[in-house]
């Protein structure tokens, strides 16, 4: 933790993690204020207000409805309409939840969040709690923002942070924060479900209701079937067997570099979803360095265009990008 002479602006959602961060900052910093980033046109949760009042900390509500609708809600809907699966939480960290408070920082004031991640000497690292590490979700956050960030829960286990808040008697929302912000609905146009040979075997309610690897909502078919690919050009949902889910490559675009390697070809660990372990991969950068071809040493299951791909060296985040397309064993369906 920084010295107590520093000032802190704490991002407070009302959940247990940000409340634990607020509590620790109240003990470590000389001056603390809190901000609730409002993305839905509502006041701050009563739990956030009560915690601030008990700790004697001023709470400000930052209006982020317009920027959230533009950068996250509208953008995600466009991505879904193209047959891809965005990651609203990672995008929101980069463009709203950290970006808005960052614009409010005063001189010598640090931006504090309840993320389980570390930022040391300009390097973003995994948090100590392997089950709650959120460095993947921070891989799209620009370096200039991270340079002003402090993560008090970096070395903590989730259970310890929760116990600390309960012991202090501070209220908090019991649901996880990512459940509160963005709920998508199925708004697409119904179309055909086809198998990997292109044969029509059913109907879907809209491609935006599906993602590669999904089993639920496909209807009854012979054997266990999965979503293999979304074909927005023909409004088709392609399903197949589990073996069809595996890909040897993916492409990352719009890479946010936090620690860019000095060479254009290198090996690192690549994580393609939050709950999937990172896998050893060979990386080849484009000429401008803002996109990369990823070749997995072991084929990966359900690689989804639109999701975040984060690159690691050990526990250090090199950067994150958007999975733009992937290559698997699927036949080319053009009919």
> What are the residue numbers of the active site?
92, 181
Q: Choose among 255, 110, 115: nearest CA to 177.
A: 115
Token couple for 94? 């980069």
Count CB neighbours of 235 within 10 A: 16
**Spacing of C-alpha 96 from chain mean position:** 12
Cβ-proximal residues to 188 (8 Å cutoff; 6+ apart), any chain: 80, 81, 205, 206, 207, 208, 209, 235
Q: Which residue has the tokens 């060296």?
A: 313
CB 155 within 8 A of CB 334: no
Alpha carbon distances (Å) from 258 to 29, 33, 310: 27, 28, 11
Q: How many CB atoms lie within 10 A of CB 145?
A: 18
Burial (Cβ within 10 Å: 0-12, 13-18, ≥19) of residue 86? buried
Report which of 70, 15, 17, 8 is spatially closest to residue 39, judged by C-alpha positions.
70
């Amino acid at each position: 933790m920084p010295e107590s002479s520093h000032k802190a602006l704490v991002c407070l959602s009302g959940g247990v993690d940000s409340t634990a961060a607020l509590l620790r900052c109240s003990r470590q910093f000389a001056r603390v204020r809190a901000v609730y980033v409002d993305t839905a046109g509502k006041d701050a949760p009563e739990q956030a207000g009560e915690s601030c009042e008990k700790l004697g900390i001023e709470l400000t509500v930052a209006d982020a409805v317009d920027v959230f609708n533009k950068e996250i809600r509208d953008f995600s809907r466009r991505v879904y309409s193209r047959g891809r699966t965005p990651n609203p939480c990672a995008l929101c960290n980069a463009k709203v939840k950290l970006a808005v408070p960052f614009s409010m920082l005063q001189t010598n004031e640090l931006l504090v969040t309840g993320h389980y991640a570390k930022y040391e000497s300009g390097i973003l690292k995994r948090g100590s709690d392997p089950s709650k590490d959120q460095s993947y979700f921070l891989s799209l956050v620009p370096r200039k923002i991270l340079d002003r960030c402090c993560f008090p829960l970096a070395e903590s286990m989730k259970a310890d942070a929760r116990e600390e808040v309960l012991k202090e008697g501070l209220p908090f929302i019991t649901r996880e924060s990512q459940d509160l912000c963005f709920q998508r609905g199925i708004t697409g146009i119904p179309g055909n479900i086809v198998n990997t040979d292109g044969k029509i075997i059913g109907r879907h309610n809209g491609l935006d209701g599906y993602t590669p690897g999904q089993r639920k909502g496909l209807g009854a078919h012979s054997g266990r079937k999965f979503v293999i690919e979304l074909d927005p050009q023909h409004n088709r949902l392609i399903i197949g067997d589990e073996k069809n889910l595996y890909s040897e490559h993916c492409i990352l675009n719009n890479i946010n570099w936090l620690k860019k390697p000095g060479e254009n070809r290198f090996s690192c660990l690549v994580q393609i979803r939050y709950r999937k372990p990172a896998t050893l991969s060979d990386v080849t950068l484009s000429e401008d360095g803002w996109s990369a071809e990823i070749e997995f040493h072991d084929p990966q299951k359900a690689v989804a265009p639109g999701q975040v791909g984060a690159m690691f060296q050990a526990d250090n985040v090199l950067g994150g990008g958007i999975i733009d397309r992937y290559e698997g064993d699927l036949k080319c369906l053009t009919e």
